[in-house]
Copies of this chain bind each other. A is one copy, B any other.
Amino acid sequence: MSNCVAIEWLGEELRLLDQRVLPEATLMISCRNATEVTEAIRGMVVRGAPAIGISAAYGLVLAARGCPESADRGKWMSDARDLLAASRPTAVNLFWALDRMQDAVAAFVNNGSAAIAGLEAEAVKIHQEDVLANETMGELGADLIADRPGMAVLTHCNTGSLATGGYGTALGVIRSAWQRELITRVYADETRPWFQGARLTAWELQQEGIEARLIADSAAAHVMATGEVSWVIVGADRIASNGDTANKIGTYGLAVLARYHKVRFMVVAPSGTVDFDIPDGRAIPIEERGGEEVTHFRGQAIAPPDMRAYNPVFDVTPAHLIDAIVTEKGVVLKPDADKMRAIIA
């Protein structure tokens, strides 16, 4: 898993590691056009804000490759973009990556197949830059932990190789901190309802040989009360101009609990996760997914028939509960709009 490839680009197809069936099965899903990439994102074959963005970029390359000679290239590419953009609403990396591809898409619309190589190069660059950004963030985040070494950290959801181009955001910081012997242990929230922590983070931590304990999400407060935890470290799906951060459901509660227990709270995300178009977290759309993600497990009912569930899959943590936002462009301590703009924009 340290060498795990969640996103593999083969030029004519995008191969995605099917994260719905991990760790029981290791299955690659092949996407050959923008529709298949969209379905893979919506169905959570691939998940994690950075990985979604990278996949969408490759989706545009596949769209261009599949564009019929007779087609109106402008409309074709615009349709592909709209399709991909509608796959999931919260992670801004999706829209950021589609925007980053815009010039290369325009070149293709103008010049046709001769410009596909440029489109492909841009997508590959987005992918490679994400890995480099993760490595930079890993060191910057570990530097923060170095102020309070020899304690445990707690993380939520999956933010590792599987969620990114490689290495990871929050999990990248944890990898770096572990390599530098700054932390004693990782408490990994199982992360209901999708069990990203149990299925994915646990697996990545095992592969790295990092000392870890899986916990029920609701055990986090009890763990913090022991005084063993120095930092809660999470990723982000969208960060507003002022530092308000949308991330996996449960993140906001962890931030409240961390503040109560004097545990520090770190958000780790590439700069593409910051949405300077919105002033604060109230403007971030929160995706609700089907109740069956809560009432069922692998098709088996947990709850009685027809029980209604409320399943918001993200929540918003206000900036004032965040001690540090770590990006590849630098660290924003006690984030506010001015610092965010000065360091990241």
Contact = CB atoms under 8 A, between A and B. Distances in A.
Interface in A229-284: 249-250, 252-253, 256-257, 260
A304 interface: yes
A192 B213 contact: no
11 contacts: A191-B218, A198-B294, A198-B295, A206-B304, A214-B303, A216-B217, A217-B218, A225-B315, A256-B256, A256-B257, A298-B300
Contact of A310 (B198, B215, B304, B308): B215
Given A214-B291, A217-B192, A294-B215, A199 B302 contact: yes
Secondary structure of the A contact surface, majority rule: mixed
A208 to B, nearest CB: 12
B221 A253 contact: yes
Nearest to A205: B307
A256 B260 contact: yes
A312 interface: yes
A250 B223 contact: no
A203 interface: yes
B216 A23 contact: no
Contacts of A315: 219, 221-222, 225
Nearest to A193: B216
Given A253-B257, A303-B199, A218 B218 contact: yes
A321 to B, nearest CB: 10
A216 B199 contact: no
Chain B CB within 10 A, most for which of A24, A219, A294, A310:
A219
B253 A220 contact: yes
A221 B295 CA distance: 20
A172 B264 CA distance: 39
A27 to B, nearest CB: 15
Given A214-B303, A253-B257, 6 more contacts: A202-B304, A213-B310, A214-B294, A214-B308, A219-B249, A253-B253
B294 A216 contact: yes
Given A216-B217, A257-B256, A310-B213, A190 B223 contact: no
A253 B298 contact: no
Contacts of A220: 253
A74 B315 CA distance: 59
A309 interface: yes
A250 B301 contact: no
A212 B308 contact: yes
A240 to B, nearest CB: 16
A189 interface: yes
A187 interface: yes
A216 B192 contact: yes
A220 to B, nearest CB: 7
Contacts of A213: 308-310
A311 interface: yes
A249 B216 contact: yes
Nearest to A215: B310
B217 A217 contact: yes
Contacts of A310: 187, 213-215, 219, 223
A225 to B, nearest CB: 7
Interface in A56-77: none
A178 interface: no
